[in-house]
Amino acid sequence: ECYVQNTAREYAKIYAAEAEPLEGFGEVPEIIPIFLVHRPANNIPYATVEEELVGEFVKYSVRDGKEVNFLRRDSEAGQKCCTFQHWVYEKTSGSLLVTDLQGVGMKLTDVGIATLAKGYKGFKGNCSISFIEQFRALHQCNKYCEMLGLKSLRTTHQKQRKATAMKSKNLPNSSPVKKTVPKKAREPRDFISSEH
């Protein structure tokens, strides 16, 4: 948990360094640090500690991408979180995605990271690769994506789908072929009964 959140925090710092100087961009989401504490005298010797966030707690993105969240889409914090996800996705060539962004205002906590199956530069996330695929399919760019010069994922995803469709249309025999495999003759099984 600490490793994932603090890794996402490092990406957020780089994102902030690129976004904050842009005219009109404004405040940038911050992922708060989380610390692992060792308490040897306690029944549960390890615990995590982080800053307490006071205010309305909002999920700006969800792990599986299925939930429609108007606060994510319509609020400034939500749009900037989506742009952060897009920025990380583009910076890592689609290999890593910070997801499950949630918190109070621009302060975020308890985030997740999805990576491709092989990981990214030795790092493996804690979320399924399907989150990356869903993000690529569902993300809608906003003005902050445009300010950062991020490429639309919509056109990339549509081009990939069209290319796949064209390949299947161009195959000489694209109709489904039913394969028949001869069934082996069933041999009678010997049952051994045992009496105890």
The residues assigned a catalytic role are 100
Distance CA 70, CA 80 (A): 14
Name the helix (H) or strand (E) containing 109.
strand 107-109
C-alpha distances out from residue 102 to 29, 41, 81, 98, 166, Å = 10, 33, 9, 11, 40
8 Å CB contact between 127 and 99? yes
Q: Which residue has the tokens 């105890």?
A: 196
Q: Which of 127, 140, 145 is nearest to 83 (CA)?
A: 145
